[in-house]
Amino acid sequence: MLDASIVSFLVSELHKLPSALVYVVVGLLVFGEAALFVGFVIPGETTVLVAGVIASQGSVNIVVLGALVVAAAIIGDTVGYVVGREFGPRLLDIGMVRPHRERLDAAMGALQRRGATYVFLARFSAFLRAVMPGLAGMSRMHYTRFLIANSIGGLIWGAGFTALGYLGGKQLPLIEKYASYFSWGVLALLLLVITTLVVRHQLKKRLGTTNR
């Protein structure tokens, strides 16, 4: 997460722009997070939270903004996927990426083990959100599987953080400080639901086998 003073600066600067340009800037930053590795400079949560605050003050429409954020996130990740598929390991030699090589190797290993589930979970980690689409393309994951996982994650993440910024209003510095906990909370809840469904499915299979 960025320092609260930087967040306040972003809010101030976006306020100076016409509404149409606010949409453009936010859309480009969210799109570029994975497509152009902008996430290494400005995490997507910060951009979306700031945009939500702008919407709460009447400068932009919250519904339009939320839809834009979700669409930009999904499309940007798709571009990142294509870039990873086309350019492969050469991406790992990019200056801003090279220092993270060890973490990237670990992420690639987890992606190969967990597939689409890991793509979905990566949406809630600032670092993984910036690199996962490229890694998925590099690993030759089937695009349909990637798109489904990415779209579900993008929808939950985009709508959630836009609403969080909108509802928080002037409390943005405090919200931005604890936004990572929000991500982990959503992630923990989703993992709990998935685990419960898997356990129930396994129990039904065992009961079915026992009754035969």
Tokens of 37: 């590795």
- The per-type count for the chain, helices as H runs and strands as E runs, is 9, 0
**What per-residue string of b and e applies to 63-93 under the rule 16 or more CB within 10 Å gives b?**
eebbebbbbbbbbbbbbbbebbbeeeeebbe
Nearest C-alpha neighbor of 168 from the set 38, 72, 73, 53: 53
Q: Record the tokens describing residue 155, joined without a space.
A: 């929808």
* Residue 206 pLDDT greater than 80, yes or no: no
The SS3 call for residue 108 is helix
**Which stretch of 29-43, 55-69, 174-188 has the lowest confidence by average pLDDT?**
174-188
Helix (H, G, I), strand (E, B) or coil at 60: coil
pLDDT at 160 over 50: yes
What does the pLDDT average to over 116-127?
A: 86
Q: Is the pLDDT of residue 2 over 50?
A: no
* Residue in the structure block whose two tokens are 């700031």: 50
pTM of the model: 0.75
